[in-house]
Amino acid sequence: MSEKSLFSGGRYATRGVMSGLCPGLQFYLWNLIDRMEIEKDYLQVFVLESFGRDWLKVIHRQEVPHYEKEHLIKVDGDNKDGKIFVIDSVDYSTMLYAEEY
């Protein structure tokens, strides 16, 4: 039996994320996790800070092994600033706002 890798199972988002982030931004965050070139921690953290009308700063980090990268992206639609957790539990992953934890 082969061992599952992190973030390879089903993907879910809470109601808070569904109402606070446009689908394109949700997809972008999942894609950042998929493209990581280092070992992934079960907890991925994204800090979202909007500036100007159409720009968003996304800080992506994890603790072990240490990883932090900043992205500046142009966004369409309304997105709620805040901290997003993406937690993997082997069979599935859940994207949620920190205050929903």
Could you tell me the domains of the chain? 10-100 (3.10.450.150)
Sign of CA dihedral 87, 93, 95, 97: negative
Q: From its phi and psi, is residue 99 left (phi > 0), alpha (psi between -120 and 50) or beta?
A: alpha
Count of alpha carbons within 13 angstroms of residue 85, beta-carbon side? 14
Residue 86: which of 19, 4, 27, 37 has the closest Cα? 27
| Tokens describing residue 66 | 């240490």
Q: Are residues 24 and 30 in contact, defined by beta-carbon separation less than 8 angstroms?
A: no
Question: Could you tell me the pTM of the whole model?
Answer: 0.93
Could you read off the pLDDT of 79-99 as tens digits, one per residue?
A: 899 999 999 998 999 999 999
* Positions of the chain with pLDDT lower than 70, given as ranges: 1-3
